[in-house]
Amino acid sequence: MNDPDKLLHTIAITEVINRYCAAVDQKQFDMATMSQIFAESARVIRPNGTITTGPKEIGESHRQSFSHFQATQHLTSGFLITWIDRSTARFRANLVAMHIWAEGEGDPSAASGDNYFLAGGVITGQVALATDGWRITEFINEPTWRQGTGFQQMLKMFKTK
């Protein structure tokens, strides 16, 4: 792969990961959106080790868990792309995610403006080039720090498989 091709593919890989974060923040978990982001056999590994597989299951799981939030914002930076071959690559990026609890969720003793949690960490995974663009085949979210309220309630939302 020559340098201009590598640069174009790096931009496209970064874009598909950012499209995933945008879909989460906009709560767009329909099959059409998830299929434009994830490969059919994709795996998402959540911070507690829960694994969801395939665009449909990933979308349904996210719809359920993110319904507990009024809003979220996932910010990525520092992308590093490691090429395995011409159609497969691994990625690493930093992630900071803000979660504003919906009414009645999170910490019931917190003031409404203080009922949120913030998490920062690293996302890693793999992507593969499909006929119509890059798709995530593995996405791992590894928080390194958390701050805010209601985090224990969030952990209870996820069931380890």
Query: What is the pLDDT at residue 157?
Result: 60
Helix/strand number for the chain, H first, E second: 4, 6
pLDDT at residue 129 is higher than 50: yes
**Model confidence pTM above 0.85:** yes
Output the DSSP codes for 51-79.
EEEHHHHHHHHHHHHHTTEEEEEEEEEEE
Instruction: Render pLDDT for 65-124 as a digit per residue (tens, 0 to 9).
Output: 999 999 999 999 999 999 999 999 999 999 999 999 999 899 888 887 899 999 999 999
| CA distance from start to end of the chain | 39
How confident is residue 4, by pLDDT bands cut at 50, 70 and 90?
confident
Instruction: Render pLDDT for 10-66 as a digit per residue (tens, 0 to 9).
Output: 999 999 999 999 999 999 999 999 999 999 999 999 998 999 999 999 999 999 999
Q: Which domains does the chain have, with CATH numbers?
A: 3-157 (3.10.450.50)
